[in-house]
Each structure stands twice: as structure tokens, then as C-alpha cells.
Amino acid sequence: MSDLLPTDSIVPEHVAVIMDGNGRWARERGKARHSGHRAGVKSVRATVEHAALRGIQHLTLFAFSSENWSRPAAEVGALMALFVEALRREVAELHRNNVRLEFVGNRASLGAALIRKIEASEARTADNDGLHLIIAIAYGGRWDIAGAARKLAKRAVDGDIHVDDIDEQMLGKDMQFAGVPDPDLLIRTGGEQRISNFLLWNLAYAELWFCDTLWPDFDETEFDRALDFFARRQRRFGQTGDQQEVAEC
């Protein structure tokens, strides 16, 4: 049986996005890479607005990976400055639109100015109950899993838990996305078809949508294509298609 179902009003609860293609977008136009990152901000804004419009509850954007530190220092510096600038410009509007902003990743690796902006933006929007916007910055899936493992190992050494008690649920509670539903849909722009160390634990049953559109050109129409793809999927979670049909009746 095909995994595809007729389109209906099914909307993913949590969408994660790998925003790829800023550098190539800039290169095609003969511009410096940082101009592509700056152009991508408008796509972030459009994606956030459309996610809220479509009733998505959680939106996670992969802004900067733990591996991105190896990029040229000038590009990394420009990105960090852009993050600070974007927070200064955008948080008030997000707050007016009832968006709750949260950041995940290794904050210890970030500069003091950016950390202050992150903490202030989280505090300002903490009581909002609209779209939950999660920005992954200095984040890596392996880093996340290793960090949770270290916490559980310490608890076991301290005698707070027994090693035999450690299970998937316990590990998940010590990870960055504890308390947030796993992504239902992953979108990656830019033509690559891999997850690049993003949410390795959390994407176990996500539907994957890859498109060739470079991130600065990603718009509401492309977003809707991904959502339409998701609505047609039959999500089995290890069961057979027949079992799912019975459950849906």
C-alpha cells in the first residue's frame, strides 16, 4: 500500500527547518556569503508568520550548527553580529504577535552580547502562548545526546539513579528539547538530502521534505508544498498500513 493519502487539513504540530543555501544564493549573485545570510532573514520572517497562520504549534529553525564554527572567521563573526541585530529588530514584533521564543544549543560558546540578547528575548516572550519558536544555535545532535548521557552518568555515579533504570524516556528528559513534541516534519532547503547532525534523537519518525529552493527564496508557496506533502503521508510509527487504517476508523 502507498504511504500517500488524500490531502486533508492535517497540519504538523512541530516543524523543523534546516535553512540551507544562503551562501550559494549570494555566490550566484556575485555577492559575499554574509549577504546571503542577511537575505535569509526575510525568509525566516515569512516562515514564522506562515507557521502561525497555518496553526503550527512549534517551529524549530536550525540557525547555526556546532560544526559551523569551522567556517571562515569573518563569516562566523558576521553571522553572530546578524543574530544580535535580528534579535534587536525582531523580538518586539514577535512579542506583539504572541510568539514565545526559545533558544537551544551550547550557549557557553557564544559571545556575551548575544547571550544577553537571547536571555532578554526569552524572558520578554516567556508568557506568550502562541507559536513556540525555537532557534537552534551552536547546536549539534551528537552534542545534545552526549550531554544528556553525561548528566545521567553523573546521577548514576552519585547514586541518585541505578544504571539499569536508564531508558529512552529518562535520556530524553535530559536533552535540549525535553518537554517539546518531536518534529512531525523536517524541511531542508538548498537541495541537499541529509540531516547534518540536526535533532538526531528527535527526528526518529519525522517526515522529511527536501527542496532545491535556496533559503532566501523559500516562501509561503514552498512551505505549503511541504505541508501538503505531510498531509498526504500515512504515519505508521512501526505499525502496518492496515493497523493505521483501523485506528483511524
Which residues are marked as active site?
A: 20, 68
> Does residue 176 contact residue 142 with C-beta atoms inside 8 Å?
no
When mean pLDDT is compared across 6-10, 20-24, 200-204, 223-227, the lowest value belongs to 6-10
Rounded average pLDDT over 177-206: 97
CATH class of 14-248: alpha beta
- The domain spans of the chain are 14-248
Q: What is the mean pLDDT of the chain?
A: 91
55 HSE (CA, 13 A, CB side)? 5
Residue range 133-156: average pLDDT? 97
Q: Is 60 exposed, middle or buried (0-12, 13-18, 19+ CB in 10 A)?
A: buried
| Predicted local confidence at residue 245, as pLDDT | 55
pTM, rounded to two decimals: 0.89
